[in-house]
Each structure stands twice: as C-alpha cells, then as structure tokens.
Amino acid sequence: MNKTKIFTGILFICGAIGFFISWSLMPDPGTTDASHILDIVKRSRSNVVNSVVIQIITSVVYVTALFLLTQISFPLKKESLLGVCLIGVGVLGLCSDAFFHLLAWFMTDNSVSIQRDVVRVMEFMQTEGVRFLIPLLLPFFVGGLLLAIGLRKQRLTSSLPAYVITIAFLLAILMVIGTKTHIYKVPVPVLFILGIFAIGQAIIGFEFLTPSRKITFDHAALDVYR
C-alpha cells in the first residue's frame, strides 16, 4: 500500500482525535458569556492550557495531512481541492482559537485581578473578536464535508464519512433553530456535534489505511484542468 496514503490516514485520525480532545478539555464549549467563561476557566486552568497545546499541535497535524493528501491522488477533483483549501483556512481559525483560550487562561491567573476591565477585555474577545474568528473557523467544517464528498467521487473513500459529517451539520442546524425559536430551552450540545464531525474525519483516515482502495491516476479529473 502507498506509504504516503497510510501516513495521511494516520494524520487524519490523529487530527480528528486531537480536535475532539482539545474541545472536550474546554469547560462548557460554545459559551460566549464573558463572566461565565472567566469563572469556569479559573476552575479548570490545567485542562484549558492542555487544550491550547493540543489544539495548536492538531492544527499542525491537519496542515501536514492536507499537503500529503495532494500527493496521493493527482489531480484532486474540484470538490476535494476546494475542501482542502477550506480546511486549510479553517485550520488557521482553529489555531487562532487556541490563542483565544490561552488569553482566557492567563486572565484567570492568580496574579491577575478579575475586575471590570478584565471582563471587558473578555467581552470584546467573545463579541467583536469572534467576528474575526468565525469566518476562519467555519470553512474548517464546510471544507470537511466537501472533502468527504470529493474523496468519495474519486473512490478514495466510501460515502460513510460524508454521511456522518452531514449528520453533524443537520444536528447543528436543528439545534440552533430549536434554541432560537424556543422550541426547547436546552443548551446546544456543542461537544456532541463536534464529536460526530471528528468521527467523520477519523473515518476518512481509517479508510485510507484499508488496502481495498487503490490510488489511480484520474485522467478524467485531469481533463477538467486542461
């Protein structure tokens, strides 16, 4: 089996695991209330700093996996290539988000007094600051779905990763609509949805490890670029 394909699969699995672990270490992921964030981070400082480190390492793993992915099948179909580009942008957001968490970690240090100005800084990061972050993070998820679809079309993976990631999207949309319309009054299970998304990416990695799928030069895809 192609060694590059195997290594790429391993990196996708490691990236998916690191992505989920980094968020599972964050207390109450998805919340934007500044005072609440400072309070819960102060009670889980060791987990938060570990999350920061894992999230940064995971970003490096994803970037490496994307570069290697372009080597195992040339040329990539449009969906796959767009997915790679969007995930690459999303990884920038993922890494940037780690520094948002690092700031919260430092602001809860005993040497820092949590007074009005500190809360104001956190409020800014969770409102104005997030407006810069979301356009970087959102492509990570959209790109993940497009990549899964593209890899399926190139017969590099099955339909399963695309189905799983689609389920994560549908759940997220339904949960947000339900919350906004007050159909139910429970917090959106962000970690659960992120976990489903991570499973979809991990399946891509596992399927790269299976010898049943052979990498072939895609002449039809090449014609698109001529």
What domain range is 49 assigned to?
Answer: 3-225
Q: What is the DSSP letter of 182?
A: T
In whole angstroms, give the CA distance from residue 35 to residue 43: 13
Q: Is the peptide bond before 75 cis (omega within 30 degrees of 0)?
A: yes
pTM over 0.85: no
Q: How far apart are CA 163 and CA 196, in angstroms?
A: 10
Per-residue pLDDT reduced to its tens digit, 80-108: 999 999 999 999 999 999 999 998 898 88
Q: How far is CA 7 from CA 28, 29, 165, 209, in A?
A: 33, 31, 22, 8
Residue 76 has what DSSP assignment? P
pLDDT beyond 90 at 122: no
- Nearest residue to 170 via CA among 141, 201, 134, 136: 141
| 168-215 pLDDT tens trace | 999 988 887 877 776 656 566 888 999 999 999 999 999 999 865 544
Distance CA 39, CA 21 (A): 21
Q: How many domains does the chain have?
A: 1
What is the tens place of the pLDDT at every residue in 25-58? 998 887 778 888 888 898 999 999 999 999 999 9
